[in-house]
Amino acid sequence: GNFSDYPVWTFGLLMFFAVGIPFFFLSLLGFKLLSPNLKSIGNIAKYTLLAIWLISVSMAIAIGIKQTTAFAVDGRVVQKETINLKPTDTLYVKFKHNDYFAKSINDHNDFKITLDSIGNDVIYSNNVSFRIAKTDEKLAYIQIEREAKGENLFEAKKRAEKIKYAYKIIGNQLILDNYLLTELKEKFRDQEVEITLFLPKETLFKADSSIQDYDQSDDEYFNLHHSSDYIYKVGDNQVKCLNCPKEENEHNDVDTNEEKDSVVTTTVTVNGEVVKVKETVTKKGLSVDKDGVIIKTN
């Protein structure tokens, strides 16, 4: 099987003997109690079954220990890439699926054996996680960690290196695959991909709703609100949502200072007459220019 170095049928056979033989003897004992004159199966049969049972139990224990050691050590491979953003840029982050392996972004498989586009057997998995973190660096960057398990560190790291994962940085867009692939011969060894997006202070970004199934960020630092229209800004100790509704302020992460334009009525005395003047006051907030760039208004 893909979880073990041994065929699946061997597990079934061993379990049949390990469980079936004691059950057989218990059944014989029951019949003996009901019918004392019941003829014995003979010593040769008894000792033969006992030997088969001991061998089966010993082999099952040995295989179990070997399987456990196959997941004993974590291996990790780390990749980093800088994201060059202009001060006026807003970073757009989203996940995408592959039509060849899934019908939509909402289809999830922790582990599936399938064929790739050229007919090779591969392991497909949506075991991908994402989180936002702060950095003191001047530029944003993405860190991709491929992880897998093995009997020893060398084997685990080699298996992690075999994990295939892709993403794209196109202008101010970060597009992440929602799946990983690896060769079938690598077997299932808890392969996973951890994505960390490090953003410096003052960075503006928008998170697509496709992120919600993969986001593992600390909610006290970055709380993902489930709308693709919300704009976030990295602060000193927390990411603030600049245009989220105030009622979504569970984690105290909604910037309540950001308000829309309001109409104010001012009373003015002109030549002894009282005149009420209505004027529009623009509070600090966000606007979008003709090129779709999000800018701050004061």
**Predicted pLDDT of residue 269:** 43
**Predicted pLDDT of residue 216:** 94
pLDDT along the chain (298 residues), means of 10: 65 87 88 79 88 91 82 92 91 94 89 90 95 94 96 93 96 96 92 97 94 93 89 93 88 71 42 47 47 50
CA neighbours closer than 13 Å in the CB half-sphere of residue 110:
3
pTM flag (> 0.75): no
Do the beta carbons of residue 61 and residue 92 sit within 8 Å? no
Distance CA 208, CA 92 (A): 7
Q: Specify the pairing of strand 167-170 against strand 90-96.
A: unpaired
Structure-block tokens of residue 207: 């998170």
Where are the chain's structural domains? 8-69, 73-248, 262-297
Provide φ and ψ at 115, rounded to 5°: -110, 140
**Predicted pLDDT of residue 46:** 87
Residues whose CB is less than 8 angstroms from the CB of residue 177 and which lie 6 or more positions away in sequence, other chains included: 95, 96, 97, 98, 128, 165, 166, 167
CA gyration radius for the chain? 31
Strands (E), the chain: 73-83, 90-96, 112-115, 121-125, 128-134, 140-150, 167-170, 173-177, 180-183, 192-199, 204-207, 231-234, 239-241, 262-270, 273-281, 285-288, 294-297
> How does DSSP classify residue 102?
-
